[in-house]
Homo-oligomer: A and B are copies of this chain.
Amino acid sequence: MRAVDELIGLLGAAHVLTGADTGPYVTDWRGRYSGRPLAVVRPGSVHELADVVKWCAARGVPMIPQGGNTGLCGGATPDETGRALLVVLTRLNAIRAVDTGNDTMVVEAGCTLQAVQQAAHDADRLFPLSLAAEGSCTIGGNLATNAGGTQVLRYGTARELVLGLEVVTPQGEIWNGLRGLRKDNTGYDLRNLYIGSEGTLGFITAATLKLFPRPVAQCTALLALPSIEAAVAMLARARKGFSAALTAYELIAANCLQAVVECFPEQRLPFDDAARAAPWFALLELSDSESEAHARERFEAVIGDALEAGLVSDAAIAASATQSRALWRLRESIPLAEKAYGKNVKHDISVPASRMAEFVATTNAALQAAHPGVEHVIFGHLGDGNLHYNVACGTAYTEEALLARQSEIHALVHDRVHAFGGSISAEHGIGQLKRDYLPRYKDAVELDLMRRIKAALDPQGIMNPGKVLPG
């Protein structure tokens, strides 16, 4: 208990948690990982954090950064040894500055994504990062994992929304890199090295974020599509027709929509029976900088052409903000509907858009050959080449039998992703969940470069050990 007393000396008793008080922090959001930390600490300032880090560095105590604990790969969950300190950054939650003249804001890592969005909105600006967990995830966690979400097509991943960082190194030094500059070529790009490193190189404590003008009007439609080839071709048309005004293009397989309306009877499909029989759907969103009328005219022209060309078999265009929200709700309810139908084997993959249709067709076939009767649960951010390609029991397996084959199914899907030049983790990161896949799919030279950087910046190996880098 000597260690805990020392930590209390640094942070005060209220912010050093042990035993049962650590409960909310030690299990990951999906309930897949659970561990036991030395303690949970909640520093109240960057300097308090730096003091804690120096304390750890002097004693070789491992540290695990945690934000809102909504990660999907176990990246913020401790192991069972009881050796590591779980460092929760939610008290670093100040919006330090909003500079509308520079279209930037400086926020601390512990701000929820929603608080960041709101602060931008209050300044008549848009901070476009948006994802399901936004009410509880923190911007620090979003940056540590280079979060994606629904607006990547237009605004990029978290990485592309950041101009500067403040970081506490594993030695407890504070790097102030909170620059608000669009252009700065004065040395190595440390910012992007920390973004996406999942807390293995240091603590991101604050960031200078880019702000954008808020769209003047938005249009949303749900498209019924005869094939995935048509979905990909429609994406190309939307990209060409809308250019940067195309802000979302989400693919949804018919069985996913079906599951949503069965699971949530208050939700309805905006289609007649013929259109409902389509195998694929896409949620299309345009964000216009001019006017409602301009947005609608442009939107309807592109969709009208696609209908005429037979690329799209039917289109439900939202006539109001309420209808638009209802369409988005269909999309956002898929993970919940999935859950209601039992566990499935999940993949967060990306492949080049030009190979997407072939990837899905041949991988579906390979899965059916190996596991006849499994159900394909496919949806995701087609505009970014990113699908949540999940595999459910179908008529093939009980839940237990499916999960017993999880590794086998992962290997089949990931091997194919790799063969198609894709990524086995498009937006969720590596954490501990996918760490041991890296040697199979990552170029050996690249993995060696990663290890060398890790050793250079964290020679003691105390920053979130066991995450990202395979042992």
Give the shortest distance, in Å, between A394 (CB) and chain B (any CB): 28
Task: Let me know if B385 and A187 touch, CB within 8 A.
Answer: no
Known pairs A152-B182, A177-B446, A213-B243; A187 contacts B438 (CB<8 A)? yes
Chain B residue at minimum C-beta to C-beta distance from A157: B183
Interfacial chain B residues near A175, Cβ < 8 Å: 443, 445-446, 449
> Which of A154, A197, A447, A449 counts the most B-chain CB atoms under 10 A from its CB?
A449
Chain B residue at minimum C-beta to C-beta distance from A192: B192
Specify how many copies of this chain sit in the oligomer. 2
Chain B residue at minimum C-beta to C-beta distance from A188: B450
Known pairs A182-B384, A423-B179; A187 contacts B289 (CB<8 A)? no
A158-174 vs B, CB cutoff 8 Å, 1 = contact: the mask equals 01100000000100011
Task: Let me know if B183 and A385 touch, CB within 8 A.
Answer: yes
> Which of A100, A160, A424, A453 counts the most B-chain CB atoms under 10 A from its CB?
A453
Give the shortest distance, in Å, between A135 (CB) and chain B (any CB): 22
Task: Let me know if A184 and B289 touch, CB within 8 A.
Answer: no
| Interface: A397 (CB within 8 A) | no
Interfacial chain B residues near A446, Cβ < 8 Å: 175, 177, 187, 190
Give the shortest distance, in Å, between A441 (CB) and chain B (any CB): 7
A418-430 vs B, CB cutoff 8 Å, 1 = contact: the mask equals 0001111111111
Interfacial chain B residues near A195, Cβ < 8 Å: 189
Interfacial chain B residues near A454, Cβ < 8 Å: 188
| Interface: A61 (CB within 8 A) | no
Interfacial chain B residues near A185, Cβ < 8 Å: 145-146, 148, 157, 196, 423, 425-430
Give the shortest distance, in Å, between A137 (CB) and chain B (any CB): 15
Task: Let me know if A176 and B455 touch, CB within 8 A.
Answer: no
Interfacial chain B residues near A99, Cβ < 8 Å: 352, 354
Known pairs A179-B421, A243-B213, A244-B243; A186 contacts B442 (CB<8 A)? yes
A449-465 contacts to B, CB under 8 A, are 449-450, 452-457
Task: Let me know if A104 and B182 touch, CB within 8 A.
Answer: no
Partner among B244, B354, B457 whose Cβ is within 8 Å of the Cβ of A101: B354
Give the interface segment out of A4-12, A234-242, A362-370.
A234-242
Q: How far is the CA of A211 from the CA of B457 in the complex (A)?
A: 35
Interfacial chain B residues near A384, Cβ < 8 Å: 182-183
Task: Let me know if B353 and A242 touch, CB within 8 A.
Answer: no
Give the shortest distance, in Å, between A419 (CB) and chain B (any CB): 13
6 contacts between A and B (CB under 8 A): A101-B232, A104-B352, A146-B189, A173-B445, A188-B453, A213-B239
The 4 closest A-B pairs by CB, nearest first: A101-B354, A244-B244, A243-B289, A456-B456
